[in-house]
Amino acid sequence: MDRGLESGSSQHRPGARRAILKAALASGLALPLTRILPRLAPEASAQRGDPRSQRPQAGDGFAFQTGERAGQVITITDVPTGGPPVTACPIDRASGVVRDGSRLNQVLLVRFGGAELSEETRLGSAEGIVAYSGICTHTGCDIALWKPETKRFRCPCHESEFDPRDGGRVVGGPAPRRLPRVPVRIVDGVPVAAGGFTSRPGFQPS
């Protein structure tokens, strides 16, 4: 019998495999990391794969996510000053592809008077419109609530609150970090992404 195929052969033992992998890493001869640990690269895969799952791109417009106008491009007049926010997904304006293939692409558009925005927030806004990830940074729930009296987003799962006038800053609850933003500009009366998310959307497991 070929001893290399025996179940007790040292090259098939877990400890031996770990030792081989460590040696390969140390010598710089390891396989590309995405082949060894593919789960570490979901964001890169999303960016290279189906256009519907790609994160917002510079030049993308925004489309209504739900309702009778789902998939239609949002204009300035569709975003009321002072809220409530409009739930949207990015849309490739050249191809018409709506990037609704991933929950992490959910975006909240809300509009304020320019004097209401912090200086930093104003720099990434256009005509008072700001855009934020609609996924809570705590456990990844949809941010489905709006508090009109304070003009804040609220997550219904654990009551985290975020201030869209101040860069999506956490102002209550257990969320560990602010909401990622999408910088906005206006093109022919339409809010358009001036870039991608400022940080990774969703929660980051420890």
Encode pLDDT of 85-115 as tens digits. 999 999 999 999 999 999 999 999 999 998 9
Kindly report the average pLDDT of the chain as a whole number.
Answer: 83
Question: Cα-atom radius of gyration of the chain, to the nearest Å?
Answer: 22
Does the structure show a pLDDT above 90 at 152? yes
Q: How far, in Å, CA of 7 to CA of 24, rounded?
A: 23
User: pLDDT band for position 48 (50/70/90)?
Assistant: low
- Residue 22's SS3 state is helix
In the 8-state DSSP scheme, what is residue 86?
Answer: E
Total-model pTM:
0.77
Per-residue pLDDT, 18:
53
Residue 121 corresponds to which amino acid? T
pLDDT category of residue 179 using cuts at 50, 70 and 90: very high
The counts of H helices and E strands in the chain are: 4, 10
Instruction: Tell me what percent of the residues of the chain surpass a pLDDT of 90.
Output: 74
Bridging pattern class, strands 152-154 and 169-172: unpaired
**Alpha-carbon span 92 to 145, nearest angstrom:** 27
What are the phi and psi torsion angles at 55 (to 5°)? -65, 165
CATH architecture of 49-193: 3-layer Sandwich (2.102)
51: Cβ contacts below 8 Å, ≥ 6 apart: 92, 95, 97, 99
Report pLDDT digits (tens) over 12-24: 444 544 554 454 4
Residue extents of the structural domains in the chain: 3-47, 49-193
Instruction: Kindly indicate the confidence band of residue 26, based on its pLDDT and cuts at 50, 70 and 90.
Output: very low
